[in-house]
Amino acid sequence: MNRYLSTIAIVINKKTIKESDLLITLLTPSDGKIVALAKGAKNIKSSRQGSLQLGNTIKVQIYSKNDRQWISEATNLQPFLRSSKTLSQVNLLFYFLEAVNSLIAENQQHDHIFQICQDTIESINQNKLISFIDNEIKFIEELGFGIPKSIYTSYQNKDYLSTQKSLKLLFEDISEKKFESSQLFR
């Protein structure tokens, strides 16, 4: 990665570090998954705080030094919470972003993954389950994982709830862990 990078990115994970800093995981079109520190982003006066929310597509400035990355600026391009959402939409977003974060290695670039992720988030935004499932299948295929025939069959038979449950189990099997987002809204 260059010393200075200006790119668009999707915020796929964030963790609080100390009191006011955030460790942000971004998915970019050309550099793949990047983990960068946003110093002071939780301060009430920080202009980056609103941009660094999960699911947002942002324009970001990243500074790199000594194998570490820092976010210097972030601007919202497409906020996920641009309108009110149901709990099921928020849960689908958390689940999908957890899958993205689990299945993509840092600095590993995939040609179509960024666009598939944007399309998936837009499907959640518009509350379109069929489009969401279709994008999940594209995501898994693009990463090179095989999809069991039973998933294709249930999808073709329009059994979307069964398809979604099977896809969730497939994501967890591939990542070899149960997703925490499944426990959020029971």
CB 127 within 8 A of CB 89: yes
Please give the Cα distance from 154 to 93 (Å, whole number).
22
Choose the final residue of a domain: 78, 101, 135: 78
pLDDT at residue 153 is higher than 70 = yes
Q: In this structure, are 91 and 74 located in the same domain?
A: no
Q: In this structure, are 113 and 57 located in the same domain?
A: no
Q: In this structure, are 152 and 103 located in the same domain?
A: yes
Q: In this structure, are 159 and 103 located in the same domain?
A: yes
Total-model pTM: 0.88
Q: Are strands 4-17 and 57-65 parallel, antiparallel or unpaired?
A: antiparallel
Q: In this structure, are 41 and 72 located in the same domain?
A: yes
Please give the Cα distance from 56 to 76 (Å, whole number).
7
More confident residue, 161 or 47: 161
Q: Which residue spans within the chain are E strands per DSSP?
A: 4-17, 21-28, 32-38, 57-65, 68-78
Choose the final residue of a domain: 39, 61, 78: 78
**pLDDT for 64-93, tens place per residue?**
888 889 888 888 888 887 677 788 888 899
Q: In this structure, are 159 and 124 located in the same domain?
A: yes
pLDDT at residue 17 is higher than 80 = yes
CATH number of residue 49's parent domain: 2.40.50.140
Number of domains forming the structure of the chain: 2
Choose the final residue of a domain: 78, 111, 135: 78
Domain that holds residue 132: 87-183
Q: In this structure, are 179 and 126 located in the same domain?
A: yes
Q: In this structure, are 73 and 45 located in the same domain?
A: yes
Residues of the chain with pLDDT > 70: what percent?
89
